[in-house]
Structure 1
Amino acid sequence: MYGRAAMTKSMELLKGKTGMAMLFVLLHLSLCCIIEGLFGLSMLKSWKIKASLGALLIVCMVILNLVGLLVQSIFYYVCKIYHNEKVDKNELQQHLGGYVGELVPLNSTIELQNQSMEAGDM
């Protein structure tokens, strides 16, 4: 979906969870501003302090952005479930399979039980 249709769909998906989305965005931006402020303060010190504190703050910023992406993904699925939209688990599994490696497809709880019993026999 492109343009106006995508924006309309995202606004519909956010209904009822707009306050929580705003809270996530404000929290993320606040933490980014704090890290940026600390980075600016570190430039007033000696070069050894600049290097070590700068490296630490860059690591903190990377971690903050990765956690932010994780929260966005989870929030998206929470919104879909809140509006009773179908979450395509097979598509999600295929998408995550590229990151995790080879996943065993689980289509039902019976298949899961059979696989766990076979693994217990070994």
Structure 2
Amino acid sequence: MEGTLLALGAVPTMEGTLLALGAVRTMEGTLLALGVVRTIEGTLLALGAVQTMEGSLLALGAVRTMEGTLLALGAVRTMEGTLLALGAVRTMEGTLMALRAVRIMGDTLQALGAGRTMESSLLAL
């Protein structure tokens, strides 16, 4: 249901389109891997900070949320899950590590790794 992962292309999902080296479109806004994320809470500058309901996210630091701790150069918590630009995130489900990863409704797409979906495992390379 999430779509097809093209290692250097795009992933159509119910939330939007993941460009492996580009941007992720979600209902909340657009994630540029090293750019800006517009969310309901505010604006995330990948090398800056964002004020959220949980607190302040320092893109080069960490933020404690109800779900866990986000460590990344650019990360944002959305209703769908956690978008990671260049790092890793600890969630209740486990740890996601990838150059470009997006957590969507319990399924993980990794642009330069392997993604487990409800249909099968995608080996990007």
TM-score scaled by structure 1? 0.24
Where relative contact order (Cα < 8 A, 6+ residues apart) is larger, the structure is 1
The structure with more radius of gyration: 1
More strand by share: 2
TM-score scaled by structure 2? 0.24
